[in-house]
Chain A
Amino acid sequence: KQEVTQIPAALSVPEGENLVLNCSFTDSAIYNLQWFRQDPGKGLTSLLLIQSSQREQTSGRLNASLDKSSGRSTLYIAASQPGDSATYLCAVRGNTDKLIFGTGTRLQVFP
């Protein structure tokens, strides 16, 4: 059974810092991995999707990497801003065609 873990559970950093969010999964047989952002009271917004054959994806200040063999992904946020404050969720899709989510990392960036 696929399990997804995210570390840390919460993170508070000053504006301008570069930071790394971690995601690990127990079953390496995945189709893809996706990082989402969730703002309070709102749904999820997809940030990056990495196919199993890819090693990383970039969008603006965000970079996500995938090491399928070790069951790990990282989301790198460069030059963090207060507007980045949100909960970040990673989710993996395996051969059951189902998205399995982690519990998220709650990020606060203060001015």
Chain B
Amino acid sequence: EAGVAQSPRYKIIEKRQSVAFWCNPISGHATLYWYQQILGQGPKLLIQFQNNGVVDDSQLPKDRFSAERLKGVDSTLKIQPAKLEDSAVYLCASSLVRSQETQYFGPGTRLLVL
């Protein structure tokens, strides 16, 4: 079974530029999560999708971050414009259904904003 795929693996941009990350969850997984992990901290949930609908985006900075999951499969996370404090690893995870299921994580995209 293929795992969660993410691209790119690394990205360096200057502040005020835009950037987009892509995630392909495990086939058949209905729930998809985007996390932000700042160096030295645990991951923080940014947004959770159930199929193509948003379940929780309470911690997503909506003035600059956006995410979509068209057709309930792949997802993209965008930052526009980026700030220095957005430097982090962005992790995508998926699970078969909500709640008590184990989440499977991708390798992450490491973003550096200069």
Query: A31-B100, A51-B100, A93-B99 given as contacts; is B42 within 8 A of A43 (CB)?
Result: no
Query: A31-B99, A93-B100, A101-B42 given as contacts; is B56 within 8 A of A45 (CB)?
Result: no
Main secondary structure on B side of the interface with A: loop
Contacts of A42 in B (CB 8 A): 107-108
Residues 77-114 of B contacting A (Cβ, < 8 Å): 91, 93, 98-100, 102-108, 110
Contacts of B105 in A (CB 8 A): 36, 43-45
* Count of CB-CB pairs between chains A and B under 8 Å: 55
Q: Tell me if B43 and A44 are in contact (CB < 8 A).
A: yes
A49 to B41, CA, bound (A): 21
Contact residue among B4, B48, B91 (Cβ-Cβ distance under 8 Å from A98):
B48
Contact with B along A7-42 (1 / 0, CB 8 A): 000000000000000000000000110101000011
Residue numbers of B with Cβ under 8 A of A are: 4, 33, 40-45, 48, 55-56, 91, 93, 98-100, 102-108, 110
